[in-house]
Structure formats: C-alpha cells, structure tokens
Amino acid sequence: MADSGGEVGGYHPHHAQRAVCDSRAKYREGRRPRAVKVYTVNLESRYLLIQGVPAVGVMKELIEQFALFGAIEQYNALDEYPAEEFTEVYLIKFQKLQSARIAKRKLDERSFFGGLLHVCYAPEFETVQETREKLQERRRYIARTTGIKEDKVQPMTKKKLYKEHTVSKDLRNDFHSKASEFCATPSNARTEYPWNYQTNSWNSAPCHVSSKSVTSQSGEFLEVTLISPQHDGNFKKTMSSCNQNNSLIQKIEMEIPKTSVDCLGPPKVISSNTGIARFMPRTTQLQERKRRREEDRKLETFLETNPSNKEIIIGPQLPEIPKVDLEDESLNMSANLIRNKLKEVISPQLKPSEDKLEDTHISQPLKQRRRI
C-alpha cells in the first residue's frame, strides 16, 4: 500500500473509477448507476481531481465550470499524473468542502468538450492542518445536528426548542452554502464575459454623455439640433449669453426681455426643424457653428435687401432662448432700452402685443417668431 499511495500527485487507488454495480436488487436501484463504495470523512476533501479533460486548452472553461459551485482557492494542471492520451488532469482546491461536494456530484461523469470528466476527491493533497480542520468540521457538524437526538427524552417544549434551534441553524447553513454559490456565480460571470460587460459600458457611455451635455448646458445642444442650420444665426449669441448668465434666476429674468430681443434682432426665419438631440463631438460643433455664422450673415444681408419679408408669424414661443448679447453695440443699446421699457410695461405674457411689435419694428427690422 505504501507504494501505491506513493508521492502526492501520483495515482491513488481511490481515484480509480469503480465498475458500476449492475446487480442491485430492484428496491435498491438509485437514479444514477453507482459503484459500491462507502464514503467517509477521510475520503472527502476540498481538493478535487479532475481526469479526462480533453487536452485542447480548455483550462479556463473547466475552472469556470467548477467555480459555479463555490469559490476556488487554487487550481493547477497535474502534468506528471498518468493520464489517458490527449487528456489532462487538473487539481482544484475549493474554499469549502460543501462546494467540492456539490461540484463533484454535478460534474462527475459530465461530458466536457467531447470528453467525459471523472471527478474524485483528492484528500492526499491536504496538509496535516487541512486534514485536522476537516475532521474538526465534521465533529462540529455532528454536534450541531445531533443536539436534538441526545435530548429525545426531554420534555416536549425543550425538545421543540432544540428542534427549532437546529432547524434554523441548518437553514442558515443551507443558505450560507447557497449564498456562497451565488456569490461565486456572478463574479464568475464577470470574468467569463469581460468583453461583453465592457462593450456594454462603451455602448451606453456615449448616450449617457450626450444626454448629460444636453441637459447640463441648458439647452445649447438642444438648440443645435432643433434649429435648422441655416436659420439659427443667433445660436452663437444665445450661447454666449447663456454662459454669461448661469444662474437659473437670471435666466428667468431674461425670459421677459427675450421677447423684445426677438423683435429687435435681425429679421430671421427660424424654422421649426424638429431635430433629434444627438451627441456631436466638440470639433464638429465648432465647425458647425462657424458654418452657421457664415450662413447667417448671408441670410441677414438677404433679408435686409428683401423688405417684403415682413410677415409676422405669431405662435407659441419656444421657451428659454434668451437673446441678450447681440454682438453689436447699437443693437445692444437699443435692446437694453426696450428691455427696460418692457420691464415697466409688460407683465409676463406669452403673446407680445401688436403694439409692441409695431413699436419695435419701426426702429428695427421685424423678427419673425418661430412657429412650432
């Protein structure tokens, strides 16, 4: 025997798969055919030996399979172990004996990449201390679970108490082992599909960023996309004004003058292009702005030379497009004048009165309202 149980890592008779027993009496037949073997605490172990792994570089997959049943403390291939041709032998050490038990039960005799796994306990890899702990664990387990039985003669209430006590303990154990399994599973999944996770995050990240920028910069980007490129000449101005007045209150204040500014501004046909808010890289934005500014300038000159375009389209105002800085000293000045005047006169109405418009369009070319 001393020879057979040679060095650690070598072949041991208890690794051999025993012949399945096919002569059992009918009433003793189990669900799965099994050999005649008695398991004791000596035979079980946190170490599992896995034979019959096809030698096609599937260690990662193998470990992942086993990690489904609990945390694995260490694993390695046993190169020197006598293996069948084209197969490999692996050693896996679980953190908990219970994990090893379940893994063995679930994965023994399972096909894996075209091979049939043979999983057995490998207690010969245990150190003295590990064996000692294993024996003590069994001692504790029995002490825990047989607490009831020793008190069978005790009165009912106490018995019940004991029973409840142990049951809850058992449940907790059960739960604990299950929890550890669950714990193991997601972490495993993460390692299993790191790329999926990453691509997901990359996919979602731009969306997130875009929506954030849309909201945080108080509608700038919304404007970018909502206003058709040819007609939003004052986009840039708007933006700068926005930047100047960051606080909400200021913006609200600006809503009143805005109407007047609209009227004061150079006449523009701002069509209601229902664009979709989408993310644009910054460089594109800059180019786009530049292009619009140029277009706007053209349009301005065109409108100025085309006085027939004085029709005022009145419709619900688009909210919150404050236009303050008109980038022209005289324009700004008159805008301020009118703003102050309006502050005295007007109460916050959505619809500016005809008079005002008439008032303003005497001095300034009419600016058309956006129609929605």
Partner 1 sequence: MNAKPRILPEGGRLQYLQKLVSEFQETTSQEAKEQVLANLANFAYDPNNYQYLRDLQVLDLFLDVLSEDSDTLVEFAIGGLCNLCLDKVNKEYILQMGGIKPIINCLSSPNEETVMSAVTTLMYLSTPQSIEELTALPVVECMLRFSLSANKRLSNLATIFLEDYCSPSQVEKAQNLSAHSAVGIPLPKD
Q: Which residues bind partner 1 (CB under 8 A)?
A: 1-8, 13-14, 21, 23-25, 27-28, 36-43, 98, 101, 123-128, 131-132, 135, 138-139, 141-143, 145-146, 149-150, 152, 166-167, 170-171, 173-174, 177
- Nearest to residue 300, comparing CAs of 363, 357, 223, 365? 365
Rank residues 42 and 349 by Cβ distance to partner 1 and give the closer one.
Answer: 42
Rank residues 106 and 138 by Cβ distance to partner 1 and give the closer one.
Answer: 138
Distance of closest approach, residue 95 Cβ to partner 1, in angstroms: 16
Q: C-alpha distances in angstroms, 60 versus 54, 76, 278, 312, 339? A: 12, 11, 41, 72, 72
Helix axes 354-363, 248-264, angle to 10 degrees: 70
Distance of closest approach, residue 277 Cβ to partner 1, in angstroms: 56
Distance of closest approach, residue 48 Cβ to partner 1, in angstroms: 15
Is the CB of residue 66 less than 8 Å from the CB of residue 92? yes
Rank residues 153 and 276 by Cβ distance to partner 1 and give the closer one.
Answer: 153
Rank residues 134 and 367 by Cβ distance to partner 1 and give the closer one.
Answer: 134
Rank residues 112 and 125 by Cβ distance to partner 1 and give the closer one.
Answer: 125
Residue type at position 314? I
* Beta carbons within 10 angstroms of residue 51's beta carbon: 22
CA 180 to chain centre: 22
Cross-strand pairs, 371: none
Distance of closest approach, residue 70 Cβ to partner 1, in angstroms: 13
Rank residues 35 and 209 by Cβ distance to partner 1 and give the closer one.
Answer: 35
* Beta carbons within 10 angstroms of residue 201's beta carbon: 10
Measure the CA dihedral 88/91/96/101, to 10°: 50
Distance of closest approach, residue 192 Cβ to partner 1, in angstroms: 28
Calpha distance 257→259 (Å, rounded): 5
Rank residues 78 and 270 by Cβ distance to partner 1 and give the closer one.
Answer: 78
Distance of closest approach, residue 182 Cβ to partner 1, in angstroms: 16
Rank residues 42 and 199 by Cβ distance to partner 1 and give the closer one.
Answer: 42
Three-class secondary structure of residue 118 per DSSP: strand
Calpha distance 111→53 (Å, rounded): 9
Calpha distance 110→118 (Å, rounded): 8
The secondary structure of residue 311, as a DSSP letter, is P
Structure tokens at 153: 């003669």
Distance of closest approach, residue 185 Cβ to partner 1, in angstroms: 20
Distance of closest approach, residue 193 Cβ to partner 1, in angstroms: 32
